[in-house]
């Protein structure tokens, strides 16, 4: 099979390419940058800006399957600070990628969406009901990032209906693991907490955004990749959740990281920082029906691998405690 993975320089795309190559596929990776922490395993790596239609045509030329992961995105701080540029960038990328896949006659097309499409009004308490796929409409998604993901889902479904493209639409719920951004402003909460814990002396305090009682479910990268491949094989063309349904608070997450690190730390809660919705969990009923499987790696297990990797990177780079690794990098 000839496969293209967009977002190949990013966290999930890089892991996906490793898995596809290990299964013997020919893979083209596409991104505006190469992976940060190790060399790509792609057979061919195209540096291209997918906001341009020509680049999307190059990306999809002579390809059977498209895994479209490229997106301008980051953690809650980044997506809250960049509504206009992020929405514009991703709308261009997603619209051009679909049209290019049609022109290039790709066999299958998988789009990676997000739990940020779900309405805020269903996520305003900690002890939330898990979100089912049909809950996304009527819409009230996350400002910017959630709206453009929801729009791209709809557009993907229109291409399926009108042009017969064999589509998949996967809604990720907080994917984490080694080889993801852990500094610079694009990191997400598990990696950010791993970094803060790794850099703190035992007994010291670390900053936690909000009161830490906001809840989420977190899915380890190996489970995410397994789920992606199974969903591609499933033939299911509509949106489907991919995440765990193990709901934990951010304070629980901090405790899991401290336990992986063998440190006792105090939490300094900063209530002025963005926190996203109050609670969010994945309902995996449809996932189990469609692929007969759901993510199973526990937060303790996944966080241990992730913490060891982040701590190793920080030690390798000899980062000093005074260095502001969390500083926001605003890319317009
Ligand atoms: N990681 C998560 O928890 C999570 C949750 C929900 C949805 N998602 C979605 O999954 C996909 C992959 O996420 P990730 O965590 O690997 O993110 P990532 O930021 O690590 O990877 C995205 C990649 O897209 C690339 N990109 C951005 N703009 C581009 C452009 N104009 N042209 C070409 N490449 C461009 C970036 O350079 C980056 O390498 C994204 O679509 C994201 O929205 C991820």
Residue 279's closest CA among 169, 72, 127, 139?
A: 127
**What pLDDT shows up at residue 318?**
74
| Catalytic residue positions, numbered | 145
Which atom of ligand 1 is nearest to 12's Cα?
Answer: 16
**What pLDDT shows up at residue 328?**
36
The residue ranges of the chain whose pLDDT is under 70 are 319-332
**What pLDDT shows up at residue 134?**
98
Structure tokens at 250: 């951010």
Ligand 1 centroid to residue 162 C-alpha, Å: 27
Ligand 1 centroid to residue 81 C-alpha, Å: 17
- Identify the residues whose C-beta falls under 6 Å from ligand 1: 7, 9-13, 31-33, 49-51, 69-73, 89, 93, 112, 114, 172, 174-175, 186, 188
**What pLDDT shows up at residue 319?**
61
For residue 281, give every residue at least 6 positions away whose Cβ sits within 8 Å of its Cβ, in sequence order, or none. Answer: 128, 129, 130, 131, 173, 215, 216, 217, 245, 247
Three-state DSSP at 28 gives strand
Where are the domain boundaries for CATH 3.90.25.10 in the chain? 178-217+246-281+297-317
Ligand 1 centroid to residue 74 C-alpha, Å: 8
Residue 279's closest CA among 257, 248, 300?
A: 248
How many helices and strands (H and E) does the chain possess? 10, 13
* Separation of first and last alpha carbons in the chain: 36
**What pLDDT shows up at residue 317?**
87
- Per-residue pLDDT tens digits for 246-292: 999 999 999 999 999 999 999 999 999 999 999 999 999 999 999 99
- Provide the whole-model pTM: 0.96
For a pocket test of ligand 1, which of 6, 10, 242 has the largest count of ligand atoms closer than 8 A to its C-beta? 10
Nearest CA to ligand 1 atom 39: 10
**What pLDDT shows up at residue 89?**
98
Three-state DSSP at 268 gives strand
Q: Tell me which residue has tokens 């030329």.
A: 61
For residue 161, give every residue at least 6 positions away whose Cβ sits within 8 Å of its Cβ, in sequence order, or none. Answer: none
In CATH, the number for domain 178-217+246-281+297-317 is 3.90.25.10
Alpha helix stretches (DSSP H) within the chain: 11-22, 53-60, 76-81, 83-103, 145-163, 189-199, 221-234, 250-261, 285-291, 299-317
Ligand 1 centroid to residue 263 C-alpha, Å: 32
Where are the domain boundaries for CATH 3.40.50.720 in the chain? 2-175+220-242
- CATH number of the domain at 2-175+220-242, out of 3.20.20.80, 2.60.40.10, 3.40.50.720, 3.10.20.30? 3.40.50.720
């Amino acid at each position: 099979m000839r496969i293209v993975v967009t977002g190949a320089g990013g966290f999930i795309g890089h892991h996906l390419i490793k898995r596809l190559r290990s299964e013997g596929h020919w893979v083209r990776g596409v991104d505006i940058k190469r992976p940060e922490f190790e060399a790509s395993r792609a057979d061919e790596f195209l540096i291209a800006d997918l906001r341009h239609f020509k680049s999307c045509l190059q990306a999809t030329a002579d390809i059977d399957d498209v895994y479209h992961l490229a997106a301008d995105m980051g953690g809650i701080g980044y997506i809250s600070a960049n509504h206009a540029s992020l929405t514009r960038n991703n709308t261009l990328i997603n619209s051009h990628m679909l049209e290019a896949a049609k022109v290039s006659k790709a066999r299958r097309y998988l789009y990676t969406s997000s739990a940020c499409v779900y309405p805020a009004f269903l996520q305003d308490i900690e002890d939330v009901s898990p979100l089912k796929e049909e809950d996304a409409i009527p819409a009230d998604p996350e400002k910017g990032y959630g709206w453009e993901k929801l729009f791209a889902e709809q557009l993907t479904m229109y291409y399926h209906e009108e042009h017969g493209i064999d589509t998949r639409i996967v809604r990720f719920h907080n994917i984490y693991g080694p080889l993801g951004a852990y500094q610079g402003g694009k990191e997400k909460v598990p990696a950010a907490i791993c970094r803060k814990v790794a850099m703190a002396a035992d007994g010291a305090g670390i900053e936690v955004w909000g009161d830490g009682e906001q809840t989420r479910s977190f899915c380890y990268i190996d489970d995410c990749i397994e789920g992606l491949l199974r969903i591609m094989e499933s033939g299911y063309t509509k949106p489907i959740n991919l995440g765990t349904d193990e709901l934990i608070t951010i304070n629980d997450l901090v405790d899991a990281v401290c336990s992986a690190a063998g440190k006792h730390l105090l939490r300094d809660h900063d209530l002025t920082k963005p926190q996203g919705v109050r609670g969010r969990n994945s309902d995996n009923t449809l996932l189990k029906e469609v692929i007969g499987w759901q993510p199973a790696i526990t937060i303790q297990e996944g966080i241990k691998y992730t913490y060891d990797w982040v701590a190793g990177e920080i030690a390798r780079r000899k980062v000093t405690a005074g260095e502001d690794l969390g500083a926001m990098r605003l890319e317009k």
